[in-house]
């Protein structure tokens, strides 16, 4: 039988690939089954328009775990990360706020706006650095179940308790505040300059259905501070060739370790006999056998679509049903005849090698959220814009450019449902808003691709288009991700595991769930 | 001659009275000073029109832990809130929240069969979760740096209580703590009038809407001490705040507490890094070994105390406490009672105008931008129905708790906005209780700045510090002072600004007295 494996990984997203690579490196015979014609899930590069390559969905990289880069030797497999050097927030009054990778430069820039903030900035950076370090051990551990008295769980809890106590009261309280406060309130304690607070808050709302004033949003701020490229905390980068190159590098590492990667192989169902998995069957009818099946899909698909409900306890089904996705972000990809000329920083320059953030004030973000709260896309949305062709000229024909615009808020559940007309209206709102800051934008657009959460769901399979496979909210983290008792990558079906961003520690192109799930699987064997 | 006491308690509200009584009963000599001519703090009644009185901030008593009564020996003149507890109007048939779970469910069936079926389990679950909060509130908060035997005993007790919830409720509790109330309600219920009612109850006095994270715990906090299925009011005072205060004052006097009203505390005296006395506004200096302040944490730590005695980090924490009052109270003198769409009984409970969760959320949105809600959430009560001495014979009063009316307005000032608050609140009631406004003979409006001026509530915050996750338990009022003792030796805090917070009547006074008791 040709389709007999030690392990089957469903879904060739980056976590599935990481998982397969680790399993293959441990000597397992692994196959990855991907529904689409290309690997990568939401981390793919595609030529949407002839000559123009886009990181269609996820577009920057920061959170990818350094141990994965090391273990899988990703640079050797073609991954090259180029730093994003700046982030510019254009302001309505024609000024701007620019943050640079060099914190001294950022400080100097801040002095233009607020001397107080410039001074606080250094201290803030130091605290965030400590906070990120404080939570690092959490990211690297399989979450213990606090309701369990099993020795493994108790040990895990004791270890956590010990870790928290070792932080000392001061840092523990700082961490607690960060975990529970709203990003707006948290930043208010530090800064006064609106654009600084807004641009920082923005990272706290990405991929969630919360406004910057909602408690719980400050934590996500930290999530975005944990980026670690070459050991430097909080640097964001861009992958040469787009984010698909990351997936391809992981895929190459998996292949090199002996894994088989199959595309256009949509899994229809996970086969279960007597409470344990025996393999999967594809839409085509083809069957694969393995004692271990790992789902890289989100919790809804893993539990509600791929297996029969009767195989699962009600308690888990209930938790999965109420696990919240609520996709709130969209993407606009543009092919451009020339770069946008920002009024606040005229001409083409180094700033185009960084990001632009449309986040002039916290109130702006909050109003953007209000629209979505009542079922409409933001009339004036938050945007994070990069021009990958500035960093990697191969992304566009000579002299031409591509722009990647991450947009929030755009709700999956829109009043009246998504239609083509509504999608285009959303695209227009994005372009109109951006054109206020860069008037030549409209005439420079050669092609545009507008992706709503509904489109993201349709193409990538991410439920409700949530880019993190489920909201990153405190009640959906750690031992509650995706469900209490089942946050350890195991499922109630023996041999069936979960390794996507629906599991701890969640989304972003991080790879940690794939790696931790592999650890769990290998330990269980 | 300089007077000397073991302890001085500042503030003659419930917590101050409880703290003073408990200390005196343990053998200390205690002086209680109250700046106002009358005792009672937020339970104080005011005469807002000739012959018409109201206790604007004390529509109900909150939760009274039996330990408070035991420690003070007080017997409180309270009664259960009459049935129905809450009547929510505004969408379809009025929705009645009754004492009996079955009766509530029966009424719910008219709105949603699913919710009627879900109600008993929902009620039981919320009750179990709030029960764990009650346990947390029974003692000073547990600290990270717990080291003493007492701490471990407390930890063990909480651990046992937690496990006693059972696996499913353990998960529910951990999940609910950081959750938006909207999600918690959506998990079990579907009917908008019901969710609107519960959402309004949950976010009462909070500068957040139900969709905000961390609001589920506010809903549970408001349920502590209540019977299953009874959300909103817990205990009604049989004959008003006056009788409650009189009962507590009697106990304080019996225990030997010296009580002086009209005496404003001005400055703490500090010698060798410890409190040695208190100076009053009159200039009198009184010596003591400890001061227990029931004022808000900001006033206690940064105004009474010279901040030079505190570490700058600690001062920054105190300055960062969020207050953010959002509630206004409209007091109305009525010439008679309006008909409540055929539900006369509703007039003894709370009538709530919060027809849907979205309505509450929209009302909140305004406050984010420094505006007063166009269509506010209104809680309407007719206290004179139960307590006839509040109004002349044949007349009545109505109190309207109006939310959201932020302390800081972006445009205009409060003097120009006061009338708009009353008019919008009355209009909201009139929409659902036609003819209501015809009965109004006189009105008085207490905006957040008015509440600050008249009741000493900083920023008009009834909570005396927003009850948010980062300002609760070991973080209330701030890390490093959550166990009532402060970094200044001899200065202790109590009151709603400290653990366990607003609505937990007298508990902080009791805990603070234990912390301050000489050992």
pLDDT category, B340, cuts 50, 70, 90? confident
Selected residue with higher pLDDT from A219 and A344:
A344
Residue A110 in tokens: 């801040």
Q: Is B171 on the interface with A (CB under 8 A)?
A: yes
Close Cβ partners of A371 (under 8 Å, ≥ 6 residues apart) = A377, A378, A379, A409
Answer whether A216 touches B (CB < 8 Å).
yes
Render pLDDT for A355-409 as a digit per residue (tens, 0 to 9): 999 999 999 999 999 999 999 999 999 999 999 999 899 999 999 999 999 999 9
How close B255 gets to chain A, by Cα (Å)?
39
Is residue A374 located within the same domain as residue A446? yes
Domain extent for B11: 7-51+62-77+240-321+466-516
Which residues, 6 or more positions from A379, have their beta carbon under 8 angstroms from its beta carbon? A371, A429
Q: What is the pLDDT of residue B504?
A: 92
Secondary structure, 3-state, A448-507: EEEECHHHHHHHHCCHHHCCCCCCCCHHHCHHHCCCCCCCCCECCCECEEECCCCCCCCC
Same structural domain, A440 and A486: no
The residues, ordered by sequence, that sit 6+ positions from A300 with a Cβ below 8 Å of its Cβ are A320, A323, A325, A463
Residue A76, pLDDT above cutoff 50: yes
Both structure tokens of A120 = 């606080």
Same structural domain for residues B398 and B315?
A: no
Partner residue opposite A215 with nearest CB, options B183, B469, B475: B469
| B127-155 mean pLDDT | 88
Same domain, yes or no, for B135 and B180?
Answer: yes
Residue A130's contacts (CB-CB under 8 Å, 6 or more residues apart) are A171, A174
What is the ipTM score, two decimals? 0.95
For chain B, the domain total comes to 3
Minimal C-alpha gap between A524 and chain B (Å)? 24
| Res A265: pLDDT | 97
State which of B221, B251, B277 marks the end of a domain: B221
Query: Is A104 part of any domain?
Result: no
Q: Which structural domain range is residue A168 located in?
A: 114-192+203-230
CA distance B143 to A19: 40
**Residue A208: pLDDT band by 50, 70, 90 thresholds?**
confident
Chain centroid to CA B35: 21
Query: Is B244 part of a structural domain of the chain?
Result: yes
Say yes or no: B170 contacts chain A, CB-CB below 8 A.
Answer: yes
Q: What is the mean pLDDT of residues B159-182?
A: 94
**In the structure, what pLDDT confidence band is assigned to residue A102 with cuts at 50, 70 and 90?**
confident
The pLDDT assigned to A206 comes to 87
The answer to whether residue A250 is domain-embedded is yes
Q: CB B211 to CB A214 under 8 A?
A: yes
Asked whether residue A197 is domain-assigned, the answer is: no
CB spacing of A480 vs B171 below 8 angstroms: yes
Is A106 contained in some domain? Answer: no
Residue A50 within any structural domain of the chain: yes
Which are the contacts of B489, defined by CB distance < 8 A and separation ≥ 6? B273, B274, B275
Say if residue A207 is in the same domain as residue A253: no
Burial class (CB in 10 A: 0-12, 13-18, 19+), B89: buried
- The answer on pLDDT for A62 being more than 80 is no
Co-location of A125 and A29 in the same domain: no
**Residue B233: inside a domain, yes or no?**
no
Whether B24 and B137 share a structural domain: no
Residues A292 and A347 in one domain: no
For residue B91, the Cα-to-chain-centroid distance in whole angstroms is: 28
Q: Is B502 domain-assigned?
A: yes
- How far off is chain B from A90, nearest CA to CA, in Å? 22
Q: Do residue B334 and residue B451 come from a single domain?
A: yes
Looking at the structure, do residues B385 and B297 belong to the same domain, yes or no? no
Q: How far is CA B134 from its chain centroid?
A: 15
In-domain check, residue A108: no
What is the pLDDT at residue A130?
A: 86
Cα–Cα distance for residue pair A454/A461, rounded to 1 Å = 10
| pLDDT for residue A230 is more than 50 | no
Cα B203 to Cα B187: distance, rounded to the nearest angstrom? 18
Q: Pick left, alpha or beta for residue A289 (phi over 0 → left; psi -120 to 50 → alpha; otherwise beta).
A: beta
In a domain, B2, yes or no: no
pLDDT band of A229, cuts 50, 70, 90: very low
Residue A234 reports pLDDT greater than 50: no
Beta bridge partners of B46: B54
B457/B447 Cα distance (integer angstroms):
11
Residues B215 and B202: beta-carbon distance below 8 Å: yes
For residue B398, tell me if it sits in a domain. yes
The enclosing domain of B427 has a CATH number of 3.30.519
* Pairing, β B86-89 against β A96-100: unpaired
Least confident of A136-140, A228-232, B208-212: A228-232
CA-based nearest residue to A307, from A318, A315, A292, A317: A317
Q: What is the mean pLDDT of residues A232-236?
A: 55
| pLDDT computed for residue B146 by the predictor | 66
* Residue B132 domain-assigned (yes or no): yes
Q: Residues A126-142: what's their mean pLDDT? A: 85
Query: Has residue A92 been placed in a domain?
Result: no
* pLDDT per residue as tens digits for the range A478-490: 999 999 999 999 9
Of the ranges A25-39, A140-154, B138-152, which is most confident? A25-39
- Predicted confidence band of residue B79 (pLDDT cuts 50, 70, 90): confident
Residue reference for tokens 């519960």: B198
pLDDT the model gives residue B128? 97
Residues B333 and B389 in one domain: yes
Predicted confidence band of residue B177 (pLDDT cuts 50, 70, 90): very high
Domain count within chain A: 3
Contact B373, B387 (CB under 8 A): no
Residue identified by tokens 């961390």 is: B214
Judge if B95 and B69 occupy the same domain: no
Per the structure block, which two tokens stand in for A88?
A: 């510019």
Share of chain A above pLDDT 90, in %: 78
Average pLDDT on B343-351 reads: 83
Answer yes or no: do A189 and B320 touch at CB < 8 A.
yes
- Same domain? A179 vs A279: no
Residue B17 sits in the same domain as residue B73: yes
According to DSSP, the residues that pair with A382 across neighbouring strands are A408
B131 plus B201 within the same structural domain? yes
Residue of chain B minimizing CA distance to A208: B213
pLDDT score recorded for residue A227: 59
**Same structural domain for residues B452 and B331?**
yes
Are B113 and B25 in the same domain?
A: no
pLDDT exceeds cutoff 60 at A161 = yes
Least trusted range by pLDDT, from A224-233, B20-29, B177-186, B293-302: A224-233
Q: Is residue B234 part of a domain?
A: no
CB distance A55 to A242 below 8 Å? yes
Q: How far is CA A354 from CA A112, A333, A505, in A?
A: 20, 16, 27
Q: Does B208 score more than 90 pLDDT?
A: yes
Query: Nearest CA of chain A to the CA of B205: how many Å?
Result: 16
Cβ proximity of B41 and B13 under 8 Å: yes
Asked if residue A444 and residue A372 are part of one domain, the reply reads yes
| CA torsion through residues A452, A457, A463, A468, sign | negative
Give me the residue label for tokens 């004033």.
Answer: A213
Asked, for residue B226, whether it belongs to a domain, the answer is no
Terminal Cα-to-Cα distance of chain B (whole angstroms): 28
Pairing outcome for strands A237-239 and A81-83: antiparallel
Quote the pLDDT of residue B287.
98
pLDDT attached to residue A107: 93
Is B191 within 8 Å of B111 (Cβ atoms)? yes
Residues A436 and A474 in one domain: no
pTM over 0.90: yes
What's the DSSP call for residue A171? H
CA distance A183 to A484: 26
Task: Specify the pLDDT at position A1.
Answer: 53
Residue A479 within any structural domain of the chain: yes
Judged against a pLDDT cut of 70, whether residue B375 lies above it is answered with yes
Task: Say which range, A141-150, B7-16, B496-505, B507-516, has the weakest mean pLDDT.
Answer: A141-150
State chain B's mean pLDDT as an integer.
Answer: 93
Do A188 and A298 share a domain, yes or no?
no
CB-CB neighbors (< 8 A) of B469 in chain A: 180-181, 215
B470 touches chain A (CB under 8 A): yes
Report DSSP state, residue B204.
Answer: T
Answer yes or no: do B120 and B214 share one domain: yes
Mean pLDDT (chain A) is 93
């Amino acid at each position: 039988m040709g389709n007999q494996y030690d392990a089957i990984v469903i879904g060739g997203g980056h976590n599935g690939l990481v998982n397969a690579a680790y399993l293959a490196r441990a000597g397992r015979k692994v196959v990855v089954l991907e529904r689409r014609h290309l690997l990568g899930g939401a981390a793919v590069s595609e030529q949407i328009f002839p000559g123009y390559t886009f990181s269609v969905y996820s577009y920057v990289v920061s959170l990818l775990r350094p141990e994965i880069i090391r273990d899988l030797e990703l640079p050797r497999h073609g991954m090259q990360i180029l730093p994003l050097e700046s982030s510019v927030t254009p302001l309505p009054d024609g000024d701007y706020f620019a943050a640079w990778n060099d914190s001294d430069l950022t400080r100097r820039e801040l002095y233009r706006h607020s001397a107080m903030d410039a001074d606080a900035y250094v201290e803030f950076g130091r605290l965030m650095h400590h906070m990120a370090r404080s939570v690092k051990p959490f990211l690297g551990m399989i979450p213990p179940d606090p309701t369990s008295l099993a020795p493994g769980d108790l040990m895990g809890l004791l270890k956590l308790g010990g870790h928290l106590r070792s932080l000392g009261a001061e840092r523990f309280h700082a961490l607690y505040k960060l975990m529970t406060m709203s990003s707006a309130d948290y930043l208010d304690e530090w800064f006064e300059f609106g654009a600084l607070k807004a641009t920082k808050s923005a990272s706290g709302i990405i991929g969630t259905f919360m406004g910057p004033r909602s408690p719980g949003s400050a934590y996500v701020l930290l999530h975005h501070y944990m980026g670690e490229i070459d050991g430097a905390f909080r640097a964001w980068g861009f992958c040469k060739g787009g984010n698909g190159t990351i997936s391809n590098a992981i895929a190459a590492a998996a292949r090199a370790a002996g894994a088989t990667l199959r595309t256009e192989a949509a899994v229809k169902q996970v086969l279960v006999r007597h409470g344990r998995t025996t393999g999967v069957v594809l839409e085509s009818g083809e069957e694969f056998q393995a004692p271990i099946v790992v789902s890289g899909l989100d919790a809804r698909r893993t539990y509600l679509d791929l297996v029969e409900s009767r195989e699962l306890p009600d308690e888990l089904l209930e938790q999965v049903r109420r696990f919240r996705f609520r996709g709130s972000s969209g993407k606009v990809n543009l092919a451009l005849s020339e770069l946008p000329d920002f009024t606040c920083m005229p001409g083409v320059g180094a700033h185009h090698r960084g990001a632009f953030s449309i986040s002039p004030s916290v109130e702006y973000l909050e109003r953007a959220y209000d629209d979505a709260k009542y079922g409409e896309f933001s009339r004036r949305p938050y945007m994070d814009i990069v021009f990958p062709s500035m960093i990697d000229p191969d992304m566009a024909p000579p002299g031409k450019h591509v722009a990647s615009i991450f947009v929030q808020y755009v709700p999956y559940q829109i009043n009246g449902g998504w239609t083509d007309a509504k999608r285009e209206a959303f695209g227009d709102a994005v372009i109109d808003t951006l054109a206020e800051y860069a008037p030549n934008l409209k005439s420079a657009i050669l092609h545009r691709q507008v992706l709503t959460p509904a489109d993201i769901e349709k193409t990538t399979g991410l439920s409700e288009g949530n880019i993190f496979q489920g909201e990153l909210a405190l009640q959906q983290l750690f031992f509650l991700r995706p469900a209490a008792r089942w946050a350890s990558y195991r499922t109630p079906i023996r041999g069936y595991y979960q390794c996507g961003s629906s599991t701890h520690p969640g989304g972003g192109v991080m790879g940690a769930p794939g790696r931790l799930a592999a650890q769990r699987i290998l330990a269980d064997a | 001659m300089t007077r000397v006491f073991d302890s001085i308690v500042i503030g003659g509200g419930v917590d101050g009275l409880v703290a003073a009584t408990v200390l005196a009963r343990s053998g200390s000599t205690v002086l209680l000073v109250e700046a106002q001519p009358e005792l009672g703090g937020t339970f104080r009644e005011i005469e807002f029109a000739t012959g018409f009185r109201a206790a604007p901030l004390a529509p109900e008593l909150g939760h009274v832990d039996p330990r408070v009564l035991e420690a003070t020996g007080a017997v409180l003149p309270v009664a259960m809130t009459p049935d129905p507890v809450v009547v929510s109007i505004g969408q379809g048939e009025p929705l009645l929240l009754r004492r009996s779970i079955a009766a509530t469910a029966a009424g719910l069936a008219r709105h949603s069969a699913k919710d009627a079926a879900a109600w008993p389990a929902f009620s039981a679950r919320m009750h179990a979760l709030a029960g764990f909060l009650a346990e947390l509130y029974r003692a000073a908060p547990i600290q990270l740096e717990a080291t003493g035997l007492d701490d471990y005993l407390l930890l063990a007790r909480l651990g046992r209580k937690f496990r006693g919830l059972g696996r499913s409720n353990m998960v529910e509790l951990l999940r609910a703590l950081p959750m938006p109330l909207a999600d918690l309600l959506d998990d079990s219920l579907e009917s908008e009038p019901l969710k609107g009612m519960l959402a309004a109850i949950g976010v009462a006095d909070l500068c957040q809407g139900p969709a905000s994270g961390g609001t589920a715990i506010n809903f549970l906090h408001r349920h502590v001490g209540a019977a299953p299925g009874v959300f909103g009011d817990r205990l009604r005072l049989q004959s008003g705040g006056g009788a409650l205060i009189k009962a507590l004052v009697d106990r304080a006097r019996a225990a030997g507490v010296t009580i002086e009203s009209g005496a404003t505390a001005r400055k703490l005296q500090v010698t060798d890094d410890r409190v040695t006395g208190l100076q009053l506004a009159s200039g009198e200096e009184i010596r003591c070994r400890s001061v227990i302040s029931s004022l808000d944490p900001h006033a206690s730590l940064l105004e009474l105390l010279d901040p030079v005695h505190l570490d700058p980090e600690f001062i920054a924490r105190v300055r960062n406490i969020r207050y953010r009052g959002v509630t206004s109270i409209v007091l109305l003198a009525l010439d008679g009672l309006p008909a409540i769409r055929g539900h006369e009984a509703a007039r003894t409970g709370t009538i709530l105008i919060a027809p849907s969760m979205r309505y509450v959320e929209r009302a909140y949105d305004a406050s984010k931008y420094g505006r007063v809600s166009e269509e506010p959430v209104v809680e309407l009560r007719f206290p004179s129905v139960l307590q006839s001495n509040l109004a002349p014979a044949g007349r009545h009063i109505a109190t309207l708790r109006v939310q959201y009316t932020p302390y800081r307005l972006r445009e205009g000032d409060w003097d120009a906005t006061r009338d708009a608050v009353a008019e919008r609140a009355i209009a909201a009631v009139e929409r659902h209780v036609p003819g209501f406004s015809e009965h109004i003979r006189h009105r008085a409006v207490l905006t957040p700045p008015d509440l600050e001026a008249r009741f000493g509530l900083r920023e008009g915050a009834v909570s005396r510090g927003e009850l948010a996750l980062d300002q609760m338990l070991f973080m209330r009022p701030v890390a490093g002072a959550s166990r009532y003792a402060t970094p200044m030796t001899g200065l202790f805090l109590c009151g709603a600004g400290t653990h366990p917070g607003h609505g937990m009547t007298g508990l902080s006074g009791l805990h603070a007295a234990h912390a301050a008791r000489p050992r």
